[in-house]
Structure 1
Amino acid sequence: MQNTDMIKKVKINNLGIIDNFSFDGFQNVNLIIGENGTGKSFLLKALYTAMKTVEDHKRGEDVRTTADILSDRLRWCFQTDKLGDIVKKGSETPFLFEMYWNDDKFSYGFTKDATIKVPNVINEIEPLKSNSIFIPAKEVLSLFGIILKSREIDKVFGFDDTYYDLVKALRIPPQRGKNYSVFAQSRASLKDIIDGKVEYDENSNKWYYKKGNQKFSIGATSEGVKKIAILDRLLANGYLTKSSVIFIDELESALHPTAISEFLDIIDTIAFEMGIQIFIASHSYFVIKKLYLNALKRKSSIPCISMSKENGIQYYDLLDGMPDNSIINESVRLYEEEINEVLG
């Protein structure tokens, strides 16, 4: 199922360390690669704050303007008291953001002097019923209560809104009865990967890992199991829908290469059979290689945005081959070094 509701085009100027970014070929699965400090997380968070702003607008009893919602989102997602601090250092031109959801435009911008309010926002997107989500590199299950307290009680910076939104989504109990068959199949596969399941005890407000008749504290559970359990819960409780967008930062974090491969197969199914759009940021050769193979298998484009300190931003399609990036180059170098050592 090719998604018809998705982020189609994005243009960004002067965000963090990103000078200029412009791409109009996003698909169901999109990969952002690069070494640390090249702006991958900044890019993901900029897209996420835009999507959540559009989804929050006119939802329920929320009467805030789009500008008010966006201002709060940017402040808490980027953890800054002054919005102008996310503008590229030394730039004399404003930060500009432009996104097209299908053919509808969402855009805004401000200078380094901006304080707590975005001055100008254009939102041509009709209110959405979808729920997008950001899965950060660090797991949240063992920090569940701490994240809620820091945001809802203390109201201090520490865990940005990607963590807070995820915790709120995970609090929703699993649905009973009918769910999307693709989700049910994916959940079964996820359970096989972690060889058990992770459950939330509402009485104790704690998460546990269950394997057979044994029950373990979530703190004693591997990071990889907890990350996979997060996706399982979101598939089970109805938070995700066909128009959701999933952002995953450093998907490979704490996952064994085999688990990475299996996890990405599930992502592939959710994206192409359910129609959910997914953005993955990574600096793992295994992630790039697996998505390249998935593109060949499905004969479907997977855009790859390569961010490099040396070469800037370059754009590839994994359907056409592996991208030119320092991650790939280092993997090839190590292979050649091994061959030279073995063969003398």
Structure 2
Amino acid sequence: MLNNIELRNFGPIHQLECNNLGQINLIIGRNGTGKTILLKSLYSAMRTVEAYQRGHEPRTAAEILADKLYWTFEAEKIGDLVSKGADLPLRFKFCLDDCLFFYEFGKDTTRNISKLENHIPSRNSNSIYLPTKEVLSLHQNILQSRDIYKTFGFDDTYLDLARALQQPRMRGKNYQEFAHSRAQLKDMLDGRVEYDQKSGRWQFKKGNQKFAIGVTAEGIKKIAILDTLLGNRYLDPQSIVFIDEPESALHPIAISQFLDIIVMLAEVGIQFFLASHSYFVIKKLYLAAQQRQNLSIVILSADESSSGEQWDIANLREGLPTNPIIDESIRLYREEVKLVLE
């Protein structure tokens, strides 16, 4: 799994370093602190490593990365990703199973990354990014806008996911490690989402009834996406999954169940990176960390202080860290208690 990360001058992230990533990593903070940018930067690098090391690519790792950054961040030139006003170049580094991947470039860079090191060996497992919006009802629009028209609108996180969902379900038994989590997903769905080859559209099947995906609940579609990626074996126990706002479109009970499944999958090997605004998500993962002392759940907390942007790193096994999201939830609770006592 990813062991450590370092970003400097990457958009709003001026400096972030974490040397002890966990099986689950939760990124929290105010709007504009760079949560989604952090997820996308990690995802772009992982997809570059996976594409390059499989040996099917005529392009260099630097060319693959430049293309990935261009289409993931939809920037006119990738130099636009360098922090505004920064004198030093953008710098990105991570270690996957203690093997280094590193690059840097300046603000005038268009599509040519001249400084890149890649010491990560060939990797068969896939990374995937689950964006805030579901993609099942937008599936054909995503593929057409990118494969045919090649225009901005749906970035590479949407395109990669749309393509991954198209993979047919494989015959035979799935990974034994996923059996329990997939059973839980099936209970949550109370049906099955299928791709109809004739119409080229997804539909929700419940018993003998079929429903157009457009009239299916957003929460069902979100859960079905994860189940589909497990069912067609796009994901395996060494995959890395990035999820932006896992709480979106789900009611509290479904959020709790969804996070239970994430914890189960993390325990059998998948590494997760989640970005969230929700105190409910923080609290649920805190309880999971307390209940499972062998599971490392790291929280990367972004905040703006008088001295500028700061990132605090903590392990939820050791308690809840200080953060505006947590502080505001505690403040509201105390206000409620005060009203009751009065």
- TM-score range with shorter-chain normalisation? over 0.9
The corresponding residue for 1:269 is 264
| 8 Å contact from structure 2 (residues 93, 100) kept in 1 | yes
**Secondary structure of the corresponding residue to residue 141 of structure 1:** coil
In the alignment, which residue of structure 2 is the partner of 1:143?
138
Distance 1:195 1:237 in 2: 19
User: How many Å separate the matches in 2 of 1:58 and 1:315?
Assistant: 31
The CA distance in 1 between the partners of 2:324 and 2:170, in whole Å, is: 44
5+ residue gaps, structure 2: none
- AA aligned opposite 1:184: A
Instruction: Tell me what 1:231 maps to.
Output: 226
Aligned-pair identity (%): 54
Structure 1 unmatched runs, 5+: 1-5
Q: Is the 8 A contact 2:70 2:76 kept in 1?
A: yes
Partner Cα distance (2:30, 2:137) in 1: 28
The number of residue pairs the alignment matches comes to 338
Cα RMSD between the aligned structures?
1.1
Give the AA of the match of 1:195.
D
Q: Distance in 1 between matches of 2:219 and 2:8?
A: 35
Deviation at 1:334, TM superposition (A): 1.3
| CA shift digits 1:64-93 (9 cap, x unpaired) | 110110010000011012111010001111
- Matching of residue 39 in structure 1 with residue 34 in structure 2: yes
Is 2:8 the counterpart of 1:21? no
User: Is 2:246 aligned against 1:251?
Assistant: yes
Q: What's the CA shift for 1:292? A: 0.5
2:288 is equivalent to residue 294 of structure 1: yes
SS of the counterpart of 2:296?
A: coil
> Residue 158 of structure 1 is aligned with which of 153, 157, 162?
153
1:62 equivalent in alignment to 2:60: no
SS in 2 for 1:57: helix
2:334 corresponds in structure 1 to: 336
- Tell me how far 1:327 sits from its aligned partner: 1.0
Q: Cα offset for 1:59? A: 2.4
Q: Tell me by how many angstroms 1:102 deviates.
A: 1.4
Aligned residue among 315, 319, 322 for 2:320 = 322
C-alpha displacement of 1:60: 4.8
CA distance in 2: counterparts of 1:111 and 1:295, whole angstroms = 40
Displacement of 1:184 after TM fit? 2.7
1:89 and 2:84 correspond: yes
Structure 2: distance between partners of 1:322 and 1:196: 37
Q: Select the residue among 248, 256, 274 that pairs with 1:280.
A: 274
Name the amino acid aligned to 1:121: L
Residue by residue over 1:126-156, the C-alpha shift from the partner in whole angstroms, topping out at 9 and shown as x without a partner, is 1211110000111101100000011100001
Report the residue type matching 1:65 in the other structure: T
1:290 partner amino acid: K
Instruction: Report deviation, 1:241.
Output: 1.6
SS, match of residue 316 in structure 1: strand
Match for residue 255 of structure 2 among 247, 256, 260: 260
Other-structure match for 1:132: 127
Deviation at 1:40, TM superposition (A): 0.4
Q: Mean alpha-carbon deviation: is it higher for 245-254 or for 183-192?
A: 183-192
Structure-2 separation of matches of 1:60 and 1:312: 40
Q: Which one of the candidate residues 156, 172, 176 is aligned to 2:171? A: 176
The SS at the match of 2:109 is coil
**Secondary structure at the residue paired with 2:138?**
helix
Q: Is the 8 A contact 2:177 2:237 kept in 1?
A: no
